[in-house]
Chain A
């Protein structure tokens, strides 16, 4: 019996239906309110509440039972609706849709302070109708005879850097990381088998120093929203999930959950900066549009090419002038110059090399007579460990080899890159080959090889490529990697992720690659040296400007580590 439910397609490969407004309206009309695996709270039953928000709606609620309410918005006509509520100590989360509309509210109230955070949510507000839109309002519960409190909940960076394992009352298990002030990273352990981490634009609201509201919308995927209140100390949550799943069924439920604290990685804002990263105002002076948020939408930039376009490509840029990604690259090495050797891999591929000059090599597969000339670059990351790469002229899929050879131990690993996946014709793919170095003076091992490792998993490392260009890698799972762009304040900002793989070369020396699948198709490969805190690497990309093999290089800083490796191990 299979114990892990892997999906047929991962999130970034699912062709989510472009639901129409009519389809969404029909599905919402059929909903009877949020479901719940746990009993709904009756904390609000029989009560009334007027919630006043700053620059937002005034909501007059009358809770007729634990699952029915009436709502009058801004003094308008009251409507009946189903709702669900859960409590986490003094905090109440209630959620409902507004009948006859594609809107709804998720309301978080701190009953002690009377402060409230209101998420107004709606469908059909973007090109992709199924993507939940949201606007966040802060306010309070008005009580007759009492002055309005001056304080408010607020967007915050105080949740930045935290990570949790969560298990909901319905059995859903996730790992969730908050390395940004407006994005987050989630690993669906139970829904998707925990192979990959994915990223979504997110909101973080501070209730107090222990409790926060987190909300993400899976933009560019299903468009589902997951919102919860969580207690940092106790790792407990109450939440709501709203949206349409891969089968277009409405997911609308509330949940309780508990979890484990995974750790805290570094923040890079100035000391004393506890603010959020506000959405920048439009340059034309207009106010922000309702629901405005920063969303990375890589599949809408038109980078994808047809097979015919790829086949017609003639332009190649092999280690041309360094880009901003190579501003801090290491010097090119002459270690290989003059060497003659064979790299013999366990899959039967053996490649003979003659390194004629510092940027010129010849290669041929064993058994061939004709040599192929290629331009290459190499870097000696640690004594005796050289990374180099080159195109494989004549190969059927615009192939490249990116290699790390350890001459002290006679070992080599090749990341074999090719162009074209079953989804996108100009998207890079990769496979990893392990093998040995055969050359005069080296007797390679018969059994020992470089090997895949999870030693990097959970780590966060910043990479400064050149002035103004710094990102952070978060090695979220053994098979995926996330990258976070910093804002001007040093706060984590835009984030995205892709499939990845990690190979241990030596202690504190790792070969990593990541695929920017459904992103821009690049295969990035870096040799991470955690002693020099410097990497060397090679980018491989196919676009309308041709096939490109380019150097990369950045200075690193440790940003901390989440304790997550145990969640990925296979259990009996």
Chain B
């Protein structure tokens, strides 16, 4: 018998979106570095900001899944 909150299923579904978003961010980062290796430093900063912003959705979802 598995017990648990249905919130977690909803959270799992909602994590799909940020997952795709983070994937797109890093795919673009890899593309950029492959085209122009010397721009790596600048791109890394931007990539991590983009990663953090799209990941925020997943994290807020996690917190709400526990909170509500």
Decide whether A and B assemble into one complex. no
Q: Could you list which residues of chain B lie within 8 angstroms of chain A, going by C-beta atoms?
A: none
Q: Could you list which residues of chain A lie within 8 angstroms of chain B, going by C-beta atoms?
A: none
